[in-house]
Structure 1
């Protein structure tokens, strides 16, 4: 069931065992971190379980990982692990290209900020002032409040379309106006709520920003970003060109699904370049982090002025800045962004005032939890305060009690394209297991209270409830409701 994204628990080991890590910088720190991974959930009273990166890559079906760490305003170390392309046998090294997914957004946002600093656009002006061949459709929502670059960058413009699935290499690659008009594989991008009134993540909004930059500069976005952002930052391996040029394909990692299976066509292509189109490396993203940190610290000839960077790192709704997400305040301020494309999962976390950052890129749909464990390990080593390890207290329930929850459950709503949807709860060797027959996946439940359970693997929570006259109810993550039917 895609709606639930239950974890697939399929083991593999072939991807890591044949690989040789490649690195630059402080190998001692890298070795400690990669051998000290800790799961996000720990059971109270039990010894903390420590894993190696190789073990967790195999466990999570992640063929390849690339990491860069910034300390004292420079790259302290960078390292690649595992397989980039199972077909060719190529391995991940520090220069292997990964799709950045939504980490494309804060880098692309620099284009709009540079144009604003040059006086070519205003952040608070109606973007239809700058758009030429395509306009944001007028509606009841735009009568008094307008779509502006500031609102697009902070996800407060009221625009639709959360994200983009990309296009198989064999598919026709649409132009940006085709995407905006909903004639690709996603709906049309428009405004369905009054701009400025709420925060709602919108890749569609960044696609409008992309069109503004192209119309103002009279250049394709990838060319403008190459000339005005990537080259000045020294991001020599990075490109927004989509599809990736054939002569650079050997530099790129392939993409893998949650089972560790190579995605058909090796990867998807993204015409929505600002939202999802960047190919890059952790070391190149580290240069972006270092530049922003240097400007905050007083650098005068940076990619932006200190005043503009201060505006960029000022929290708006939902703690969002002009591009990156923001966390903490004052000297502990963090600017960050995650990224998810088909077969790629990434994260970038940087301290605005401390010259420290970590960027992790993986070539798998299932890379998110692995990234969390790497950050836990790095945070402990560097004393960053980023660790998200949670200790929970579990209890024992009798087989008789557990048997009360066994059965077939129907989802409370109809699933588009599937109709009625069912899952099963089984009792095996004294433990409840949730089976998703449609997706052929399962996960085990551990009791924390008489009616509350947790998936120790993923952290998902299941709460059962029952009444004398009604069926047993299964509530998944306080969101998805199932009723016991058998």
Structure 2
């Protein structure tokens, strides 16, 4: 941590579908003595997409959503504009979750929260009426024909979930995922939540200095808005493992959970809300989080019942596997 200028780090290891070890190292904020522990909260950044995908799977099994239904049949408060690109190939939750929907993030979009601009509604964002996304969203290529990593796709998913259930995404996530799994260190960050700073880790630059906004966050919960601890994320990974064997706490069926870890659209690395690899014939799932002041990683082998979640309060400016997270992952024995 000294070599990489990382003030704080926390890790949870999964063995035999249990949290085998959870421990924090360092401090919440450089120059202080506020220690990181196993309950310290970090910005999950894009690991939020895995969390959102688990919520979608629950809603699919409850009959609220269908992975392969035209998303415009689900949305009520906003619709994807019609184009010939979606005449025969529809945008669906499946293509949105696997980043193959045809929507593309506009250049310069999805910056961190700006207190002078406030938190946008998803409709305003999708219509291009906010500084966070200055272009109205439309399909740019035929759904299913290409892979384009997309935050906007998960904003569409968020709006669909809110339209169907008639509640805010935060309320839905708390009620259907965080509370049932006892994820007490998980929240959707709002500007008022800095009052919980005794548990929330501050963001730092690659040289170890504190970032100017201290708790930088993004007002797009489904895409990048979850703040949590490694132990809480490990509980969600364990839930996926149990769901594959028919013993889900959330009620996710083996068939539905298997969809998450199955290659989508001919892209062998693309699952639903996570990424896939293989090692010694065992499927490997992963999700990476990278934002202003933070980096984190989830990696797991669901059929080996093992995994790890590593979160740091520093953006090293290099891929996770080329920094301290990569050193930890490479040292683990699965």
| Structure 2 residue aligned with 1:365 | 315
Q: Which residue of 1 aligns with 2:200?
A: 252
Q: Name the structure 2 match of 1:334.
A: 284
Shift of 1:330: 8.8
Q: Cα offset for 1:174? A: 2.0
Distance 1:186 1:75 in 2: 39
Given candidates 86, 105, 110, the residue that maps to 1:161 is 105
Q: In the aligned structure 1, how far is the partner of 2:289 from the partner of 2:207?
A: 19
Question: Which residue pairs with 1:116 in the alignment?
Answer: 60
Q: Which has the larger radius of gyration?
A: 1
Is the Cα–Cα contact under 8 Å of residues 258 and 364 in structure 1 kept in the other structure? yes
SS of the counterpart of 1:129? Answer: helix
Conserved 8 A contact 2:194-2:215: no
2:27 to 83, 105, 108: 83
1:322 aligns with 2:272: yes
2:278 is equivalent to residue 278 of structure 1: no
Cα distance in 1 between the residues matched to 2:31 and 2:214: 9
Give CA-to-partner distance per residue, 1:24-65, whole Å, 9 cap, x none.
Answer: xxxxxxxxxxxxxxxxxxxxxxxxxxxxxxxxx222221111
Choose from 87, 100, 107 the match for 2:44: 100
3-state SS of 1:295 partner = helix
Match of 2:241 in 1: 293
**Post-superposition offset of 1:131:** 1.2
Checking the alignment, whether the CA contact within 8 Å between 1:66 and 1:361 is kept in structure 2 is yes
Q: Alignment partner for residue 374 of structure 1, among 319, 324, 328?
A: 328
| Structure 1 counterpart SS, 2:24 | strand
Q: C-alpha distance in 2, partners of 1:179/1:269?
A: 16
In 2, the alpha carbon distance for the partners of 1:235 and 1:323 equals 19
* SS of the residue 2:325 aligns to: helix
Superposed displacement of residue 344, structure 1: 0.6
The answer on whether the counterparts of 2:240 and 2:248 sit within 8 Å (CA) in structure 1 is no
Deviation at 1:350, TM superposition (A): 0.7
Asked if the contact 1:168–1:265 (Cα under 8 Å) also holds between the matched residues in 2, the reply is no
Identify unmatched segments of 5+ residues in structure 1.
1-56, 385-486
Moved more, 209-218 or 249-258: 249-258
Task: Find the counterpart in structure 2 of residue 181 from structure 1.
Answer: 127
Structure with greater strand share of residues: 1
- Paired with 1:126 and 1:366, the residues of 2 have a C-alpha distance of 40
C-alpha displacement at 1:170, in angstroms? 5.2
Secondary structure of the structure 1 residue equivalent to 2:2: helix
Which residue of structure 2 aligns with residue 71 of structure 1? 15
Q: Is the 8 A contact 2:46 2:287 kept in 1?
A: yes
1:144 aligns with 2:69: no
CA distance in 2, matches of 1:210, 1:158: 17
Q: Report the RMSD for the aligned CA atoms in angstroms.
A: 2.0
**Structure 1 contact 168–267 (Cα < 8 Å) conserved:** no
Q: Could you tell me whether the CA contact under 8 Å between 2:105 and 2:151 is conserved in 1? A: yes
How far is the alpha carbon of 1:195 from its aligned partner? 0.7
